[in-house]
Chain A
Amino acid sequence: MTFKLSRRTVLAALVAAGLAAGSLAPQARAADDIVLGGSIPLTGVFAFAGEGIHAGIQDWVKMVNEQGGIDGRMLRYVPEDTAYKVDASVAAFNKITGQNAVNLYYADSTAFSKTINPELERNGKILMAGASFATELNDPEKFPLQFIAGPDYTEMFGILLEYVSKEKPGAKVAFVHSDTEFGRDPIASSTERAKTLGLEVVETIVTPPGSVDVSTEVLKLRRARPDYTIFHGYVLAPIPEFINQAKQMGMETKFMGTFWSMDNGIVMKMGEAADGFMGVMPYRYYYDDSEKAPMLEKIRQMRPEYQSTAYLQGMLTAMLMTEAVKRTLADGKELTGPNLKASLNSLKDFDTGGIIGVPVSIPGNSIPVGRIYQADMKQQKMVPVSDWIRLDKAGG
């Protein structure tokens, strides 16, 4: 008897094997696990950060579980790739919350954080934070179950402007931002803030994100002659082009950036001309061993190669979420969104193991703390040039 293997048979066998594999998959989960779901951008335009965030959360979960979990309950991380698309992020949220009793959730974008907010409030069992530092999210009334593991974009500008006003009172400042929600976020409020600090905003330039030809904009900048130029709403392009052209024209303005353009790997890609590029960073860099930072030491032991600032953001977010769970359980309360948020808000002078250089409190939805770092191309490192700057409420 001969057995003929047709294409259809092979296809059917593959489908059957897939289904069997799915049903036979070992399910390493317990009913009382603390579940941290995540819409993580592992592909798409934001993948450079998503990979770091994913690794940071993973490492934190591993550390917690190696120490016996939270109050004996294991922390389980359930990520799903979203390609940085809102519909895929919401699909991931529905899928993960449909299959698990989720307590904590990592969001990949401002748009997703805004979109899912009504569902989050309706669900009432989840505390959420994520990759967005949008000023809009820093409103405990509108977003009662969310928080930002760092300063929001307006606060980042606030920290930069505070530094500038101390270094050069009455300085002239220019803002260069992308024509996106992300880019426009802090501009209007920061223009006001600059005025109150006695600084003069001499130019505000808008460009498409990732634009290449910026010669007209650089000429505009030259005419304005700012002492400081702050970029926002970009990751890399067109910052290097701006800096190169400005230096060629002999401009002496100091260039600055905000969180997503401040990773060591990204700044070093800007090349020699970016020597002296400054910016605000709420976390210590991976290699920073100037002060005692047990968490950074642990990270360096686990991963000997450089880890991005996105990694630290992911880890710190998971750490703060875990602390909220710990405190809620310690108080004998149920793990609901409002209880978790209240526990998070009870953090006062919390030690992040040195990821943030000073003890932090989260009275609202953000941690308005940061430090100014500057690129040192010889060392190929970002080095601190200020102490930690904490914004008071008026400064935020």
Chain B
Amino acid sequence: MRIGAAKQTYAADEALFDTTVQRAWLIGLFALLAVFPFMAGPYWVYMACLVAINIASATGLNILTGYTGLVSLGQAAFMGVGAYTVAWLEVNVGTPLPLNLILGGVVAGLAGMVVGVPSLRVKGLYLAIATIAASVILHFVFSHWTAVTGGVSGLTMPPGSLFGLTLDEPHELYWVIVPVTVLMVFGAANLFRTRIGRAFIAIRDRDISAEVLGIRLLRFKLLSFALSSFYAGVAGGLWVYFFRVVTPESFPLVMSIFFLAAIIVGGMGSILGAILGAAFMTMVPEALKLVVGWMSPWVPDAVALLSPVRTIVFGGLIVLFLIFEPQGLAEVWRRVRRFFHLWPFKT
């Protein structure tokens, strides 16, 4: 049982990870991430990269929806902006990978700021519809601005390279995707310890009160949109380095719903929530496929018979989570932690 964590300095009190146990777990996690590509097969490394990309984008959406209270269904379209920017730069300019990623994020961030303008007037479902409208416009641009986006065929780009190394396989890209995602997650976690992050939370909790407190709504709402879209843009950039083809159909509206579902299932307004939610939404369908695979020796043609069932089970799991754990997976995690903290006593 953990009895207490005495802090003797303000710095210790402000630390993101305030106990030795937490820091030890974190080091363990980094060690695991570092050895993972050497231990796991190509499929698992591929899935790890995909999960990391989704975590980056879900974290961005969490800044906007979870922390600022502005519902957005445009996250996939912003990823598209980032992906197209990166692909265009890679094909036409040949700028280095880190710069491309940053520029992808910046262009998406600017697009996000424009899309965020209605947020000063509308909230909730109305804002969601406004972001859907924006994503429809962006999709129109993707498919019709042929000179830049390649039209309906999209853009196919060569593999990215970093320090002279060509990154054309998941286990090579892992070393870009995972560190960038970790950096972005840490960035988001620290954001909410700053004045800007706290302003976002104040807007979420009651925007009028926030304004009374001196928080300029236009500035901070647009900043939240810009940051969220920046995250989406970088995630889109990572996505296009990963898949190397981007078409107008690469980032459909359903993908935005996927990210919204991820932060709801994971826990809105929680950094851990976005991580767990994105991992859950990406990995559970794959885990269910594994179960179907295990059943194939006994169920003839299990893949065909059980695939529709698998989809139903996935949908059912999401509904069950929303009913039984409305605060998301992050709350489950917190409960597990509490159990061990208080062990052998019951929570």
Q: What is A's interface to B at a CB cutoff of 8 Å?
A: 18, 21-22, 25-26, 28, 40, 42-43, 47, 51, 54-55, 58, 79-81, 83, 86-88, 90-91, 94-95, 97-99, 111, 114-115, 118-119, 122, 136, 179-181, 183-185
Contacts and interface: CB of A to CB of B under 8 A. Distances in A.
Interface stretch (B14-22, B102-110, B299-307): B299-307
Contact of A81 (B243, B297, B303): B303
A136 B154 CA distance: 12
Interface string B154-173: 10100100000000111000
Contacts of B211: none
Interface in B106-165: 143, 151-154, 156, 159
Interface string B183-209: 000000000000000000000000000
Given A21-B294, A42-B308, A54-B304, A181 B249 contact: yes
Contacts of A180: 152, 249
Contact of A87 (B41, B42, B50, B289): B50
A97 B170 CA distance: 14
25 contacts: A22-B290, A25-B297, A42-B304, A42-B308, A43-B310, A47-B308, A54-B303, A54-B304, A58-B301, A80-B289, A81-B289, A87-B243, A88-B285, A90-B243, A91-B47, A91-B286, A98-B42, A111-B245, A114-B245, A115-B243, A118-B168, A181-B152, A184-B151, A184-B152, A185-B152
Q: Give the most central of B47, B159, B243, B244: most A CB within 10 Å.
A: B243
B311 A94 contact: no
Q: Give the most central of B247, B290, B304, B311: most A CB within 10 Å.
A: B304
A37 B285 CA distance: 19
Contact of A98 (B43, B290, B296): B43
Judged by DSSP, the binding face of A is helix
B327 interface: no
Contact of B50 (A22, A43, A91): A91
A115 B156 CA distance: 8
A71 to B, nearest CB: 26
Contacts of B152: 180-181, 183-185
A327 to B, nearest CB: 29
B307 A90 contact: no
Kindly list the 7 A-B residue pairs having the minimum CB-CB distance in the complex, ordered from nearest.
A81-B307, A181-B152, A95-B43, A42-B307, A22-B294, A94-B43, A94-B46
Contacts, number: 89
A94 B170 contact: yes
Nearest to A136: B153
Query: For chain B, which range describes its interface: under 10, 10 to 19, 20 to 34, or 35 or more residues?
Result: 35 or more
Interface string B217-249: 000000000000000000000000001110111
B91 interface: no
A78 to B, nearest CB: 9
Nearest to A134: B153
Interface string B38-63: 00011100110010000000000000
Interface of B: 41-43, 46-47, 50, 143, 151-154, 156, 159, 168-170, 243-245, 247-250, 285-286, 289-292, 294-297, 301, 303-304, 307-308, 310-311
B209 to A, nearest CB: 42
Contacts of A181: 152-154, 247-249
A18 B289 CA distance: 13
A43 B308 contact: yes
Given A42-B307, A115-B243, A26 B297 contact: yes
A225 B273 CA distance: 58
Given A81-B307, A111-B250, 13 more contacts: A25-B296, A26-B297, A47-B308, A54-B304, A86-B243, A88-B285, A94-B46, A94-B170, A99-B43, A114-B245, A115-B243, A115-B245, A179-B143
Nearest to A38: B303
B43 to A, nearest CB: 4
Contact of A111 (B46, B50, B249, B307): B249
Given A18-B294, A51-B304, A97 B42 contact: yes
B249 to A, nearest CB: 6
A323 B290 CA distance: 32
Contacts of B153: 136, 181
A91 B43 contact: yes
Contacts of B151: 184
Contact of A122 (B41, B168, B292): B168
A98 B41 contact: yes
B52 to A, nearest CB: 13
Contact of B46 (A43, A47, A80, A91): A91
